[in-house]
Structure 1
Amino acid sequence: MTRHLAFIEANTTGTGMIALRTARDLGLVPLFLTSDSTRYLGLEETGAEVVDCDTNAPAAVTAALGALPPGSLAGATTTSEFYVSAVAEAAAELSLPGNPPKVVRRCRDKGQVRAALQAAGMPQPRFAVVRAEEELDEALTGVGLPCVAKPVDESGSQLVRWCATQDEVREHAALVMAVRTNVRGQPAAGAVLLEEFLDAPEYSVEMFSVDGVHHCVGITRKTVTGRPYFVETRHIYPAPLGEAVEAALRKTAMDALDVLGVRLGPTHVEIRLTSQGPALIELNPRLAGGMIPELVRLAHGVELLRQQLHAAVGHDVDLRPTRGGSAGVAFLLPPRAGVLRRVTGAEEAARLEHVARVTVTGRAGREVRPARNAYDRLGSVIAHSGGTAEVDAVLDKALGMLGVELEDLVPASGSARQDPEAGTRR
């Protein structure tokens, strides 16, 4: 009997299509549910069976999957954070491997995560969830300034901002609360999470859970842009850390997963290492973005995406490293606002020793700006070698060879620049 692995949508940066091809390699037939197949470049080449479906409607998803022959559906998964809840609900309805839906819904709401961690006494920033303008003053009294303001339900650093004054908080909170739907047409929560700003180094702990047992795959060193935005500019894996610090970061991640009730699959846990110890910043119920799974593969030989698919169909998961080394990714950012003419030097940078890949994502004619979120980046360089210092040096050299040629913006009378990833405002 044909065995299907259902994918409910995917991300659009390449990993999603790789996941479909990987399912084929595992002897499964990928079944791709989507409301708009045109957003996925290369979908036709994956060999997936495509089902047009309102993926924002749980009943429609369950009906589409329930129409398969009995016993032919092996599991359900996604590479898009926006659809992890839909996967959990479908899996529970159809008795497939997965996390409890209420656990995934809670993990997708940063405010609910904060509340659960607070109840468990876990170290984290002071915080408050704001749903109306009149709640801001009281919230700021408890959180203090400066603070970080962000939506409770977004990803990719979208609408995340450091605020130094009450006026800045008010302005940014109004912007967040005005968003009614996200880029996938799903209702936005309309709530703002205010967090104490922790000025400390940031790491992400890449975790994988099987039957409620949490395994630490490794720890990534993260570098972000300066204030007021927090766009990731570089990742180094594994992070160069001492044993005691590694143990403390691992414990924080594992404790958080226990508190939230995660039982299966990958999670990406972001932590800042303060002078008082680790403080959890975010927990994402999915594989890391920002090419981190590729860094894990290059450095240690662990294919996390493949293991995600194994877990989704109830197969054994193998997280054992097959080699040692280091890998890193550095992202190309626009130097100023303008219209992109071209990115130069990519071929030359790709020929450098230890460079694995140079990718240019910025298209000529695109309007760009100094980065405010992950969608503003123009490309990336990936390198791998024996040590982190060498990887950092190679990334520096390769980035230095890339040039960004811009044309000046032509002001449009009576119009304002719309962020294409910010969702729909009222």
Structure 2
Amino acid sequence: MESLGIVTDHLRPWVERAAICAYELGVEPAILTQCDDCDVSHLADVALSGVEVHSPEAVARAAADVEGCVGLLSWDDALIVTTATAAALAGFPHPSVRGVQRARNKYSMRRRLDDAGLPGPRFGLVSDPAQCAVVVDAVGLPVIIKPINGTGSALVRRADTLAELDRHVREMQLLAAETVSGLFTRAVPDPDGASRIPAEAFLVEECLTGPEIDLELVVRDGRTEVCLVSEVTFAPDSFRESFFVHPPFSVPPHDVGALENAAAEVVRCLEIDNCTANMTFMLTPSAGPVLVEVNPGRPGGHLLAAMAWHGRGVDIPSEATALGLGQPGPSRGDSRLPAVAAVSFYPREFGTVEEIRGLVELRQHPSVISALTMAGPGDVFTATRTIYPVVALVGGFTTRAELLDLHDELTSLVEIDVRA
């Protein structure tokens, strides 16, 4: 029987969903992991451990050892470029390698879009605090500073003054170098320039204003389909999402059309193809839609895939898996809900999670479709490390005001105890 190699460093939550998608599409999942002691017997009959998953050549060799392997897949941001490159080496269906390389390297992405004349923030690169003044002269203040390969808002900072930017750069250099996963200490390829180690150089961007909009895309053989448009609301004074909502109530239809056109332009410019992609735009008052980031090769995080299914009848994980196999897209379901949202619940203060209370009451609420725990006791919540202890998919509202009231009501049900 044919099989799909699922590439992961450890047993992460998305692996189970990818394995289920493989079964549903008629192939056996095979787990290729560097973990030597992960039990994946409940997910797949075939598993290879000790694979150097950050080496495309090693992943391609591992795939050759799997009987009937016809494709490779990873939804881990740190492994998407490696897996696409390995699939190309093995002769399997694969996303455009240059496209995912540009999208996963935010500095490469900014240069490419700027060279094409697409709207974007002023930006620069800082590898030494001594460069901050020069970058501020070029970019202005306030600015956002981030790793070139960041994920999940990790190490994203805002600086309103030169002194604040200098302090952030020094702090981020230390934190990035000490990241246990190695995300910021491995070189990131750039198809249009030199590879860079993220811990050694940070992207500084002009701070944009306006509603933040998230798009879920399926790109197949050069054709871009926008499958979900949702508006993001953040927790006060942070980059942590409070909720995503579809449809985006505050965005008029003509701006939704402009966002969809802008997404298609980004896809063409970066040469993204044959994968799903998650895009975030800022709908600015002066330039219209401006790209914030692209996450290629995987479904959007949080509960965006569930929102796409319940709101639009599109199974994004199955679409992503089918693309990894070179299969046609799965059949679409009927759109079910006129409005759907994904809500996050956070501790009230930083610390180590000790207990989560109120899950039964949350799940019994008539507006809650599902509620999941994505972190638990022992997980650490800090200003530099965002976790999602509880997330819920909700319906039963028709306006933004109703959603805000529902958000407050649900938040009152959940208690997340932490210790300092």
| TM-score, normalised with respect to structure 2 | 0.89
Q: Secondary structure at the match of 2:95?
A: coil
Give the drift of 1:374.
3.0
* Residues in 1 aligned to 2:347 and 2:384: alpha-carbon distance in whole angstroms: 10
Alignment map for 1:58-73 (pairs within 5 Å): 58-69=56-67, 72-73=68-69
Counterparts of 1:321 and 1:232, CA distance in 2: 28
Matches of 2:416 and 2:66, distance apart in 1: 49
Map of 1:195-234 to 2, 5 A cutoff? Answer: 195-227=205-237, 229-234=238-243
1:158 aligns with 2:170: no
Which stretch of the first structure deviates more once superposed, 58-67 or 119-128?
A: 58-67
Alpha carbon RMSD of aligned pairs, Å? 2.2
Match of residue 354, structure 1, among 353, 361, 367: 367
Match of 2:6 in 1: 7
**Cα deviation code 1:112-131 (max 9, x no counterpart):** 10000100111111111222
CA deviations 1:78-107 (Å, max 9, x no partner) are 111111111111111122111232222111
Contact 2:57 / 2:89 at 8 angstroms: preserved in 1?
Answer: no
The separation in 2 between residues aligned to 1:235 and 1:99, in whole angstroms, is: 27
Partners of 1:327 and 1:10 in 2: CA distance? 33
CA contact (8 A) 2:31 2:40 kept: no
Q: Percent identity over the alignment?
A: 22
SS in 1 for 2:85: helix
Q: Which of 235, 251, 257 matches 2:267?
A: 257
Q: Is 1:281 the counterpart of 2:292 in the alignment?
A: yes
Letter paired with 2:111 = A
Is the 8 Å Cα contact of residues 213 and 230 (structure 2) preserved in structure 1?
A: yes
**Alpha-carbon separation, structure 2, partners of 1:113 and 1:64:** 31
Q: How does 1:38-57 map to 2 (within 5 A)?
A: 38=37, 43-52=40-49, 53-57=51-55
Matching residue's letter, 1:335: R
**CA distance, structure 2, for counterparts of residue 339 and residue 373 of structure 1:** 11
Deviates more, 1:184-193 or 1:18-27: 184-193
Deviations for 1:224-262, whole angstroms, at most 9, x for unmatched residues?
A: 2333x4112211123233220110111111101100001
1:159 to 1:145, Cα distance in 2 relative to 1, 3 A: same
2:411 paired residue number: 399
Which stretch has the larger CA shift, 18-27 or 158-167? 18-27
1:236 matched to which residue of 2? 245
2:132 counterpart residue number: 136
Return the alpha-carbon distance in structure 1 between the equivalents of residues 333 and 260 of structure 2.
17
C-alpha change, 1:105 and 1:366, in structure 2 (3 Å) is closer
- Deviation digits for residues 336-390 of structure 1, max 9, x if unmatched? 1344332221101211112012223443355544x54432x32112212463545
1:200 counterpart SS class:
coil
CA distance in structure 2 between the aligned counterparts of 1:203 and 1:331, rounded to whole angstroms: 17
Q: Is the 8 A contact 2:229 2:248 kept in 1?
A: yes
Q: Which residue of 2 aligns with 1:378?
A: 389
**In the alignment, which residue of structure 1 is the partner of 2:257?**
247
What is the distance in 1 between the residues matched to 2:381 and 2:348?
9
Is contact 2:347-2:417 (8 Å) kept?
A: no
Q: Shift in Å at residue 300 of structure 1?
A: 2.1
> Contact between 2:99 and 2:273, CA under 8 Å: does it hold in 1?
no
Number of the residue aligned with 1:185: 182
Q: Say if 1:296 and 1:327, in contact at 8 Å, map to a contact too.
A: no
Conserved? CA contact 2:281–2:290, under 8 Å: yes
Residue from 291, 304, 307 that aligns with 2:303: 291
Could you tell me which amino acid in structure 1 is paired with residue 413 of structure 2?
M
* Distance across 1 between alignment mates of 2:324 and 2:378: 40
Structure 2: which amino acid aligns with 1:212? G
How far apart are the structure 1 equivalents of 2:352 and 2:112? 44
SS of the aligned residue for 1:258 comes to helix
Structure 2 unmatched runs, 5+: 187-196
Please name the residue that 1:332 is paired with.
345
Q: Which whole-Å CA distance do the structure 2 matches of 1:43 and 1:237 have between them?
A: 35
The letter for the 1-side match of 2:40 is L
Structure 1 position 393, deviation (Å): 3.9
- Do the aligned partners of 1:324 and 1:386 also contact (CA within 8 Å) in 2? no
Q: Distance in 1 between matches of 2:134 and 2:180?
A: 31
Q: Unpaired runs of 5+ in structure 1? A: 410-426
Distance change in 2, residues 1:54/1:195 (3 Å)? same
Q: Which amino acid in the other structure matches residue 277 of structure 2?
A: T
Q: Residue type of the partner of 1:96?
A: F
